[in-house]
Amino acid sequence: MTLRFYDSATAEIRDFLPLTEGEASLYYCGATVQGEPHIGHLRSALAFDQLTRWLRYRGLKVTVVRNVTDIDDKILSKSAEAGEQWWALAYRFEQAFEEAYDALGVARPTYEPRATGHIPEMHALIQELMDRGHAYSAPDGSGDVYFDVRSWDRYGSLTHQRLDDMQAAADVDLEFSGRKKDPRDFALWKGHKAGEPATAAWSSPWGAGRPGWHLECSAMVGKYLGDAFDIHGGGLDLRFPHHENEMAQSQAAGRSFANFWLHNGMVTYRGEKMSKSVGNTVSPAQLLEQAPALVVRYYLGQANYRSVLDYRPESLPEAAAAVDRIQSFLTNAAKALGPAAAAATAGSGAVPAAFEAAMDEDLNVPAALAVLHDTVRRGNTALADGNTALADGTAGESVLLQTYRQVGAMTTALGINPMDPQWKDAGGDPAALRALQTLVEARLQARQVARSAGDWAASDAIRDALAVAGIGIADSADGASWSLRKN
């Protein structure tokens, strides 16, 4: 077995050798539960779900830890604006994330710790850093404790930056900047401030307060995976400062920490960065209004995890067509094979060598999907030929049965097997979505012709007819897009 992954810390693809033979340990950053999840959160969770599934397919016992950050500045700010207890707001959004993960078949982690449940471990880590000369209390008695970045000569090694070129840490108001030895020093512990809820403060040797964001992950990963573990993952936007600070404080405390750093790429909207202020973010609910959950999962997982994934209104119908081809083949093959299909069970076999090679090389999902669809085409040819040809190198196994097994195995490894009970009630038929897309696009083209001719009555009539059918239209500079409205 030769698994290879791109390690952000060394900026190269390296052979993956687990620290413990036959096992793999993975920690990836979960949600800061300050608001509803968006498409970027889903993409990240799905990327590490694919990684977990592939490690398990390759025979490793995988321990997965995904944290929940349930206390931070934004949670306190947004709960105050909403007139809601901070812990109630955090829990409400935590459940929204869990529902979105479950809908897309993202497996629950082995452990999913909350930051607020690990305050003693954070205190212990802070004390270790202070004892080693890497942390200090603010001199004004505020209760703040900071990591001294200049005390650690490897600070910046994850993101390959010089300390003097880095931006200042954004964890304290400018008027209190005198608390720090260096503007880049970051908070390990934040002293309780006037106006903050008393429930958002814990006693500590340095005064009442709450943990800094970066400290939380180091303390939790240490508890569940130990001082050294195989893989730390998260979105590319977390590399600096979050992951840089995590690595620095953990290694400064004498812990080896992660052997590999894997970062998934961002999601854009028509080539533009997604932003709430621009209004081009996409929520799980919006995705699932437009397509079945299996189609959404296929779409979010079809690119290499390190690449940018660009969302466009036509993205989901294209994914639906791909899923429909897979589902149609498995359904038709099962009918043709009869008892042989029932005995084989789609998903129980081995994947083709080319698929395995693609996944082993830094989870090259696009290449793996190419193998999957080539196998579907080969299976459809066998169906058309009457299922008489025998597969090479098999003892009387037909090409159809071989491809049926392989397609099932590949889709199971990726978590997109249409025959899995997970997707039975997951939101409709991909073929129906594709047909609907064709019909609606034809009406939108007719509407555009009417608008170009200044025939606003005809344009409005088409819009109104679609609205009656439960289809909403949004006009923009890029043209019209559509979505299914909730009842």
What DSSP assignment string belongs to 54-119?
A: HHHHTT-EEEEEE-BB--SHHHHHHHHHHT--HHHHHHHHHHHHHHHHHHTTPPPPSB--BGGG-H
Same domain, 449 and 416: no
Longest Cα pair distance anywhere in the chain, in angstroms?
A: 83
pLDDT (0 to 100) of residue 459: 85
| 102 Cα distance to chain centroid | 12
Contact 13, 39 (CB under 8 A): no
Alpha helical stretches, state H, 147-292 = 213-225, 244-252, 284-290
Torsional class of 394: left (φ above 0), alpha (ψ -120 to 50), beta (otherwise):
beta
Same domain, 30 and 170: yes
The rounded distance, in Å, linking the Cα atoms of 3 and 17 is: 8
- Return the CATH number at 229: 3.40.50.620
The rounded distance, in Å, linking the Cα atoms of 13 and 17 is: 12
Same domain, 288 and 240: no
What string of pLDDT tens digits covers the 487 residues of the chain?
699 999 999 999 999 999 999 999 999 999 999 999 999 999 999 999 999 999 999 999 999 999 999 999 999 999 999 999 999 999 999 999 999 999 999 999 999 999 999 999 999 999 999 999 999 999 988 899 999 999 999 999 999 999 999 988 876 555 556 789 999 999 999 999 999 999 999 999 999 999 999 999 999 999 999 999 999 999 999 999 999 999 999 999 999 999 999 999 999 999 998 887 777 889 999 999 999 999 999 999 999 999 999 999 889 999 999 999 999 999 999 988 887 776 766 566 799 999 999 999 999 999 999 999 999 999 999 999 887 667 765 656 889 999 999 999 999 999 999 999 889 755 445 556 556 667 887 888 889 888 888 888 888 888 888 887 778 786 755 567 666 654 4
Query: If DSSP codes are grouped into helix, strand and coil, which group holds residue 168?
Result: coil
Same domain, 247 and 289: no
Number of H helices, E strands in the chain: 15, 15
At 61, phi and psi to the nearest 5? -85, 115
DSSP state of 141: S
With residues binned 3-state (H G I as helix, E B as strand, rest as coil), the percentages for the chain, rounded to 5, are: 50, 15, 35
pLDDT (0 to 100) of residue 487: 43
- Residue corresponding to tokens 């039975």: 424
Give how many domains the chain has, as a whole number.
3
Same domain, 244 and 319: no
Same domain, 196 and 279: no
pTM attached to this predicted model:
0.86
> Which amino acid is it at 217?
C
What DSSP assignment string belongs to 363-431?
A: --HHHHHHHHHHHHHHHHHHHHTTS-PBPTTSSS-BHHHHHHHHHHHHHHHHT--TTSGGGTTSSS-HH
Same domain, 18 and 64: yes
pLDDT (0 to 100) of residue 430: 54
Same domain, 18 and 52: yes
pLDDT (0 to 100) of residue 150: 97
Name the nearest CA neighbour of 58 among 8, 110, 18.
18
Contact 409, 350 (CB under 8 A): yes
Which among 265, 286, 311 is the end of a domain?
265
pLDDT (0 to 100) of residue 424: 75
**What is the signed CA dihedral for 93, 98, 104, 106, rounded to 10 degrees?**
140
Same domain, 365 and 293: yes
Residues of the domain holding 170: 4-265
Same domain, 239 and 210: yes
Task: Establish how many alpha carbons lie within 13 A of residue 403's alpha carbon, considering only the half-sphere containing its beta carbon.
Answer: 29
Rounded to 5°, angle at Cα 27 from 91 and 285: 45
The rounded distance, in Å, linking the Cα atoms of 340 and 329 is: 15
Contact 376, 325 (CB under 8 A): yes
**Residues 6 or more apart from 438 whose CB is under 8 A from it?**
none
Same domain, 466 and 372: no
**Element (DSSP H or E) covering residue 170:** none
The rounded distance, in Å, linking the Cα atoms of 171 and 188 is: 10
Contact 147, 186 (CB under 8 A): yes
Query: If DSSP codes are grouped into helix, strand and coil, which group holds residue 262?
Result: strand
- Return the CATH number at 341: 1.10.730
Name the nearest CA neighbour of 5 among 182, 260, 203.
260
Q: Is the dihedral of CA 229, 234, 238, 242 positive or negative?
A: negative
Same domain, 400 and 306: yes
Which among 212, 247, 265 is the end of a domain?
265
Which among 244, 265, 286 is the end of a domain?
265
> Which amino acid is it at 108?
R
pLDDT (0 to 100) of residue 435: 66
pLDDT (0 to 100) of residue 439: 80
| 350 Cα distance to chain centroid | 26
CB-based burial label for 268 (10 Å; 0-12, 13-18, 19+): middle
